[in-house]
Amino acid sequence: MKSPFPIVAVLLTVLAACLWALWPSLESSQNKPSLTVYCAASLRSPMTEIAERFEAEHDITIRLVFNGSGALLSQLQLSGGDLYLPATADYLDQASHLITATHPTSSMTAVLVLRGEEHNILALDDLKREDIRLSFAVENAAIGKFTRQVLHDSEDWAAIEKNITVIKPTVNNTVEDVSLGAVDATIAWDAVALQNKELKIIPLPLFANKPQTTSIAILKSSTQVKLARQFVSYLTEEESSKQTFRKYGFGSVAAD
């Protein structure tokens, strides 16, 4: 019986050669400057595309951390980072002691989101019917906090809350619940719902005049302030970035 050692030796030699060939690129990747961006889940699609483009053009690494705006605020307070992009401005107010400046990027409006016509849901009052199942985001997600505030103020919350059968961490999750048929409807950001062509969107008068501006802020904890400023400028001023936001259904905002 032949000894297996020559075969093992050959395999080890090949592996060593592969690692040697890859080492310069691995070392280069580790030495690249990087940014950590805490980003609301609702902005996942445009931010992923814009970040990939910026990475390619500037040879850097951007680490995008997606979650609900409130969860991200808690995380960055513990871990630090470079940039914070929540879905609504009130989270930046809460983080005022942690940031240096804010820059508007886009806008979103809360709308009613349905899967189809089977439940004859046409208006906000239809969400109060006993046969309706709703998915809502948790209260520390921007859409969850915002919709609760508006519905409390209009005295609609109690009648709608009883039909919430699912509570999810982000607006993306609630829209997915509707898409999968797990629930009948949700109230979500229009830009998130528009990315699923199978869903029906109904504007709600109660929310139509309350668009929310998304703004990005540089964190005081950033160790790459110059690079963070470059990315903010790219995100808010470059026409290609503005086109990307529009492509995914986000509204425009006036620059600072």
Binding site residue list for molybdate: 42, 69, 171
* Chain centroid, CA 177 distance in Å: 17
Q: Who contacts 99 (Cβ-Cβ below 8 Å, separation ≥6)? A: 84, 92, 217, 218, 219, 220
Backbone angles phi, psi at 60, to 5 degrees: -130, 175
CA separation for the pair 214, 40 (Å, rounded): 9
Mapped onto helix, strand or coil, the DSSP state of residue 108 is strand
Q: Tell me the binding residues.
A: 42, 69, 171
CA separation for the pair 203, 102 (Å, rounded): 29
CA separation for the pair 178, 58 (Å, rounded): 39
Contact 125, 206 (CB under 8 A): no
Structure tokens at 72: 């991200």
CA separation for the pair 69, 91 (Å, rounded): 7
Contact 34, 63 (CB under 8 A): yes
* DSSP assignment string, 182-229: SSSEEEEEHHHHHT-TTSEEEE-HHHHT--EEEEEEEETT-S-HHHHH
